[in-house]
C-alpha cells in the first residue's frame, strides 16, 4: 500500500475554520486528520503541501518513521505550524492503519482501558444556574470562564477580572457543593503576581484546577507561581512536542496535561507524552476545541491511556448556539455524546466520515481571535 494523494482542506463550520486533511492510498483506503493552530490555518495547509512532496509513494503503515522524517527533514525542526501539520497527517495515517487492519485506532495504541470517556463542560461567568443544569445532565466536572472579556468588547483588565471572578467562584462552590470538580481557564492572560492574587482571594477547596493562568514560555515563572498557591495547574494545550512538556512534567509544574492531539504531533507524539506523564502521576485532560475529527482522535487517545481524567467537550447544552464546531451534515459519521460521556467506538479506524462536496461549499473565511487591549491601549494576551 502506498500514499497516492494528500489533500488539505480548510472548512468553515459554524463559527470557525477547521483544517482537515485527507490522505489517500492506492488500495482505496483513505484517512482523515485535523490540525490545530486555529486562525492560522493557511500556514498549516502550506506546511502540509511541503510534506506532501516527499510523502507521495510512501507506506502509510510506517506512521512512526514518517513522523520522524517529517519532523527532522528540515534544518528548522518543530514549531507549532509544522507540528500542527504533522498532527493532521499522523492522525490520518492512524485512521488508514486501523481501516487496513480492521480495528479501531485505540487497538493500534495498546487496546482500550475504558469503555466510556468522561468529559468536562464549560460555562460562562456567573452561570451557576447553567452549571446546575449541566450537573443534572450528568456532568461532574465543569469549567468556568472568568469575567472581563465579553463578546464585542476587546478590552481586558486582569485586575478587574480577578476582583470580579474570585467572589463568584466562591459562590459557585457553595451553591454547587463539594462533589463536583470545578476549574477555571484564564487563557494565559495573567502575570505571576495577578495569578497569585487571584488564588489567594479564593477560600480553600474552591478550585480543583487552574488552567493556563500565565504564558508557558518560561517554566521558572510557573515554579514561582507554584510556591504561592496549592491549586493544581492544567497546562499544555499550546505545547507542540514532548520537549515542550518536558520541564512541566519533570519539575512537577502541571497536575493535568492539556495535551492537544492536533497540535502536539498526533497519536505518535501524544502517546509518548502520556507515558511520560504516567511516570509522574499526571493525568491527561485533553484540549479539544476543534471539530469532530479532533474529538474522535481524542476519544481513541483517552481510551488507550491509563492516566486519564476528562476530555474537553464544546457541544454541551450550555454552549449550543455559541460554540458550533460540530456539523451532522458535513460529518455524517462522528462521535456524539451519551449524556456526559463518549462511548468508545468499535469500528475500524477513527470512526469518522466527511461529506467532501458539502465541505467544499463553505471554504476558508478570514477569521481572527480577539486582539485584546488593556485600558491604557497596550496589547494583552488572547
In this structure, the answer to whether residues 20 and 34 fall within a common structural domain is: yes
Q: Which of 104, 122, 141 is the last residue of a domain?
A: 104
pLDDT confidence tier of residue 135, bands split at 50, 70 and 90? very high
In this structure, the answer to whether residues 40 and 65 fall within a common structural domain is: yes
DSSP 8-state symbol, 344: P
What distance separates the 2 farthest-apart alpha carbons in the chain?
61
Q: Which of 104, 125, 147 is the last residue of a domain?
A: 104
In this structure, the answer to whether residues 54 and 93 fall within a common structural domain is: yes
In this structure, the answer to whether residues 58 and 148 fall within a common structural domain is: no
pLDDT confidence tier of residue 126, bands split at 50, 70 and 90? low
Q: How far apart, in whole angstroms, are the C-alpha atoms of residue 104 and residue 98?
A: 5
Residue 31 has pLDDT above 80, yes or no: yes
Residue 9 has pLDDT above 80, yes or no: yes
249: helix, strand or coil: helix
In this structure, the answer to whether residues 172 and 228 fall within a common structural domain is: yes
In this structure, the answer to whether residues 54 and 198 fall within a common structural domain is: no
In this structure, the answer to whether residues 48 and 179 fall within a common structural domain is: no
**Arithmetic mean of pLDDT over the chain:** 95
Q: Which domain holds residue 117?
A: 107-348
Q: Decide if 304 contacts 106 (C-beta within 8 A).
A: yes
The pLDDT, as a whole number, for residue 139 is 98
Residue 152 has pLDDT above 80, yes or no: no
Residue 353 falls within a domain, yes or no? no
List strands edge to edge, sheet with 3-13. 3-13, 16-25, 30-35
pLDDT digits (tens, 9 = 90+) for 158-186: 999 999 999 999 999 999 999 999 999 99
Q: Which of 104, 130, 148 is the last residue of a domain?
A: 104
Residue with grid cell 465543569, as numbered in its chain: 142
Name the domain count of the chain: 2
Q: Any residues with CB less than 8 A from the CB of 347 and at least 6 apart, and which?
A: 104
Among candidate residues 137, 142, 140, the one with its CA nearest the CA of residue 127: 142
This prediction has a pTM of 0.96
Q: What are phi and psi of 283, to 5 degrees?
A: -90, 150
Mean pLDDT of 136-144: 97
Q: Which three cell numbers stand for residue 247?
A: 520541564
CB-based burial label for 281 (10 Å; 0-12, 13-18, 19+) = exposed
Catalytic residue among 94, 188, 287, 325: 287
CA Rg value for the chain:
20
Which residues share a beta bridge with 22?
7, 32
Catalytic residue among 7, 113, 187, 280: 187
Residue 338 falls within a domain, yes or no? yes
Residue 144 falls within a domain, yes or no? yes
pLDDT digits (tens, 9 = 90+) for 105-116: 999 999 999 999
pLDDT digits (tens, 9 = 90+) for 330-352: 999 999 999 999 999 999 999 99
The pLDDT, as a whole number, for residue 159 is 96
Q: Decide if 183 contacts 231 (C-beta within 8 A).
A: no
Residue 90 has pLDDT above 70, yes or no: yes
Q: Is 287 tagged catalytic?
A: yes
Question: What residue ranges in the chain does DSSP mark as E strands?
Answer: 3-13, 16-25, 30-35, 116-123, 141-144, 181-185, 209-211, 233-235, 256-257, 283-284, 311-312, 341-343
CATH number at residue 10: 3.30.390.10
Amino acid at each position: 500500500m502506498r500514499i497516492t494523494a494528500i489533500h488539505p482542506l480548510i472548512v468553515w463550520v459554524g463559527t470557525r475554520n477547521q483544517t482537515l486533511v485527507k490522505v489517500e492510498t492506492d488500495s482505496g483506503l483513505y484517512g482523515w486528520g485535523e490540525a490545530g493552530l486555529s486562525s492560522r490555518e493557511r500556514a498549516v495547509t502550506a506546511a502540509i503541501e511541503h510534506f506532501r512532496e516527499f510523502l507521495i509513494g510512501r507506506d502509510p503503515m510506517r506512521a512512526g518513521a514518517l513522523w520522524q522524517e517529517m519532523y527532522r527533514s528540515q534544518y528548522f525542526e518543530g514549531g507549532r505550524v509544522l507540528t500542527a501539520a504533522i498532527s493532521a497527517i499522523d492522525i490520518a495515517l492512524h485512521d488508514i492503519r486501523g481501516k487496513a487492519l480492521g480495528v479501531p485506532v485505540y487497538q493500534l495504541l495498546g487496546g482500550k482501558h475504558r469503555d466510556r470517556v468522561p468529559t468536562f463542560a464549560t460555562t460562562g461567568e456567573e452561570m451557576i444556574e447553567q452549571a446546575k443544569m449541566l450537573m443534572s445532565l450528568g456532568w461532574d466536572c465543569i469549567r468556568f470562564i472568568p469575567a472581563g472579556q465579553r463578546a464585542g468588547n476587546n478590552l481586558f483588565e486582569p485586575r478587574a477580572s480577578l476582583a470580579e471572578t474570585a467572589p463568584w467562584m466562591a459562590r459557585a462552590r457553595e451553591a454547587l457543593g463539594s462533589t463536583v470538580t470545578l476549574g477555571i481557564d484564564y487563557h494565559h492572560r495573567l502575570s505571576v503576581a495577578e495569578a497569585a492574587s487571584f488564588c489567594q482571594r479564593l477560600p480553600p477547596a474552591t478550585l480543583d484546577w487552574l488552567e493556563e493562568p500565565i504564558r508557558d514560555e518560561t517554566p521558572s515563572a510557573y515554579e514561582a507561581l507554584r510556591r504561592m498557591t496549592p491549586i493544581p495547574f492544567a497546562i499544555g494545550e499550546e505545547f507542540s512536542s514532548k520537549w515542550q512538556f518536558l520541564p512541566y512534567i519533570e519539575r512537577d509544574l502541571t497536575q493535568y496535561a492539556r495535551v492537544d492531539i492536533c497540535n502536539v504531533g498526533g497519536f505518535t507524539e501524544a502517546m509518548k507524552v502520556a507515558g511520560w506523564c504516567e511516570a509522574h502521576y499526571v493525568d491527561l485532560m485533553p484540549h479539544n476545541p476543534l471539530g469532530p475529527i479532533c474529538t474522535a482522535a481524542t476519544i481513541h487517545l483517552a481510551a488507550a491511556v491509563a492516566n486519564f481524567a476528562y476530555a474537553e467537550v464544546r457541544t454541551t447544552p450550555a454552549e449550543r448556539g455559541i460554540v458550533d464546531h460540530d456539523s451532522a451534515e458535513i460529518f455524517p459519521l462522528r462521535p456524539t455524546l451519551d449524556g456526559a460521556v463518549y462511548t468508545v467506538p468499535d469500528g475500524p479506524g477513527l470512526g469518522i466520515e466527511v461529506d467532501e462536496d458539502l465541505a467544499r461549499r463553505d471554504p476558508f473565511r478570514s477569521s481572527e481571535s480577539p486582539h485584546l487591549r488593556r485600558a491604557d491601549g497596550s496589547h494583552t494576551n488572547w
